[in-house]
Amino acid sequence: MIKHLIKIVWNRKRANFLIALEIFFSFLVLFAVMVQAVYYTDNYRKPLGFSYENVWNVWIDMKQASDDYHSPEQVEMVRQLYLALREFEEIEAAAGAHTQLFTFGGSFGAFRLSGRDVGFRRNEVTDDYGKVTGLTLARGRWFGKEDDGANWQPLVINQRLAHEIFGDEDPVGKRIPDVGDATERRVIGVVTDFRHGGEFADVENVVFQRKNLNDPQERPPRNLLVKLRPGTTRAFEEKLAARLQAVAKSWSFEIKPVVELRDEAFQRRLIPIIVVGVIAAFLMIMVALGLTGVLWLNVTQRTKEIGLRRAKGATARRIYQQILGELFVITSFGLLIGVLVVIQFPLLDVIGWISAKVYAWSIILSVAVIYLLTTICGLYPSRLATKVHPAEALHYE
């Protein structure tokens, strides 16, 4: 049966080639949308690595020309702000951080290990950061007073980076080798994978460096995070802003619940996907209408052929199966070329950030949608073919 269908399709190769070409390009567009949808869906299912409920972020505008510039006076001012936060009964814990949660930007670096660069996201945080954000320690400990005066830099890293550097060995207490400078760095703790950019962000390498507000040589944090007691309302924001402004009169502050930062990150991630998805949906509708029209015309032009088959005893069901079978063969040809094209991308490392699992599911879902689309488009023209009466073939001109 399949061999017979392939022969029929080949005999009408010129007309069928255009249909296959349309299916091919439709598959490429759908795959581009599907790979992003599957990627973000897969990320959303993974643990976030921290909690943001009842956490507010205070961004500090120090009115300076550059973020790299800092003075002992600025460090002391931030320390006074930190102490002021501890005066409020509404605040359970407070911490400083250089980078906000749920942001695309931040500070990045790389370790040079055995001739290869291991990239990571870096955040400089104070000792209570883990308490405020609810980080989960997998091994070792978080920063504390015991790190004061150490002649080496303590680091807390996430599990992904620990495995990439040390493999299955316990990284706690080990030195990060070959970092390219004289500073000695040791791992004191490992946290579960921490997705700084939010639920839609992929798991990445993360390094936390300790920021000591009692050291005037330290760069002051640009953000203060506060963990509020349950039941604290937004009315507390005015009270908090007034206290901070009283400490640093020449600075300004932006106070936001971290849940709002999360919502903003959601919008930045989803809006491009929604726009591309809407465009792809309209394209699929146009393809469906065009495909239905082409198949309808195809059936009309084959009235003589179909009528003769009916006259020779072919049932309506067999005609129905033939038309849909031909469409299945044409679709398979277009999809085969499309799949052969998209599987080249990982081999060429064009989209290396996509995992093999996400890539495979994107291909499978795209193929399934195209088959479903073409089947739906072929139902009505196939039904028209079953209505052709044998007598019509005899009167066909």
Instruction: Say whether pLDDT at 395 is over 60.
Output: no
Mean pLDDT of the region 237-255? 92
Residue 258 located in a structural domain? no
> Is residue 100 within 8 Å of residue 261, measured between CB atoms?
yes
> Is residue 160 within 8 Å of residue 207, measured between CB atoms?
no
Same-domain status, 238 and 145: yes
Same-domain status, 233 and 373: no
The string of pLDDT tens digits covering residues 330-340 is: 888 888 989 99
Residue 55 located in a structural domain? no
Least confident of 68-82, 116-130, 167-181, 301-315: 301-315
Q: What are phi and psi of 211, to 5 degrees?
A: -115, 120
Domain final position from 226, 250, 274: 250
Same-domain status, 226 and 372: no
Q: For position 62, what pLDDT does the model report? A: 84
Between the ranges 7-11, 186-190, 191-195, 267-271, where is the mean pLDDT highest? 186-190
Q: Which residues contact 232 (CB under 8 A, 6 or more apart)?
A: 54, 90
Token pair for 34: 């599907």
Long-range contacts of 320-323 (CB under 8 A, 24+ apart): 320/382, 320/383, 320/385, 320/386, 322/5, 322/8, 322/385, 323/295, 323/299, 323/378, 323/381, 323/382, 323/385
Mean pLDDT of the chain: 81
Same-domain status, 298 and 174: no
Distance, in Å, from the CA atom of 191 to the CA atom of 208, rounded to the nearest integer, reads: 10
Same-domain status, 201 and 89: yes
Same-domain status, 315 and 340: yes
Residue 179 located in a structural domain? yes
Residue 235 located in a structural domain? yes
Distances from the Cα of 325 to the Cα of 7, 11, 211, 256, 331, angstroms: 12, 15, 68, 59, 10
- Can you give the residue range of the structural domain that contains 83? 63-250
Same-domain status, 216 and 75: yes
The string of pLDDT tens digits covering residues 11-42 is: 566 666 777 888 888 888 888 888 888 888 88
Count of CB atoms within 10 A of residue 158's CB?
25
Same-domain status, 83 and 215: yes
Token pair for 275: 């726009």
* Three state DSSP letters for 7-63: HHHHHCHHHHHHHHHHHHHHHHHHHHHHHHHHHHHHHHCCCCCCCCCCEEEEEEECC
> Is residue 56 within 8 Å of residue 225, measured between CB atoms?
yes
Distance, in Å, from the CA atom of 34 to the CA atom of 31, rounded to the nearest integer, reads: 5
Residue 259 located in a structural domain? no
Mean pLDDT of the region 48-74? 80
- 363 confidence band (pLDDT: 50, 70, 90): very high
Instruction: Say whether pLDDT at 178 is over 80.
Output: no
Instruction: Say whether pLDDT at 315 is over 80.
Output: no
Number of structural domains in the chain: 2
Same-domain status, 301 and 335: yes
Same-domain status, 79 and 115: yes
Amino acid (1-letter code) at residue 253: F
Same-domain status, 239 and 175: yes
DSSP annotation of 171: -
Closest CA to 389 of 296, 316, 301: 316
Distance, in Å, from the CA atom of 168 to the CA atom of 159, rounded to the nearest integer, reads: 10
Q: For position 65, what pLDDT does the model report? A: 46
Residue 50 located in a structural domain? no
Please give the full DSSP string across 212-241, using - where no structure is assigned.
-TT-TTSPPPSEEEEEEPTT--TTHHHHHH
Beta bridge partners, 95, equal: 225
The string of pLDDT tens digits covering residues 64-110 is: 645 555 678 888 898 899 899 988 999 999 999 998 998 877 788 88
Q: For position 387, what pLDDT does the model report? A: 61
Burial of 166 (0-12, 13-18, 19+ CB in 10 A): middle
Residue 58 located in a structural domain? no
Distance, in Å, from the CA atom of 268 to the CA atom of 275, rounded to the nearest integer, reads: 12
Distance, in Å, from the CA atom of 238 to the CA atom of 228, rounded to the nearest integer, reads: 14
Q: For position 125, what pLDDT does the model report? A: 93
Distance, in Å, from the CA atom of 282 to the CA atom of 138, rounded to the nearest integer, reads: 47
**For the chain, what percent of residues have pLDDT higher than 90?**
27
Domain final position from 250, 282, 301: 250
Strands 185-191 and 153-158, bridge-based pairing: parallel
Same-domain status, 82 and 231: yes
Domain final position from 190, 218, 250: 250
Residue 386 located in a structural domain? yes
Instruction: Say whether pLDDT at 5 is over 60.
Output: no
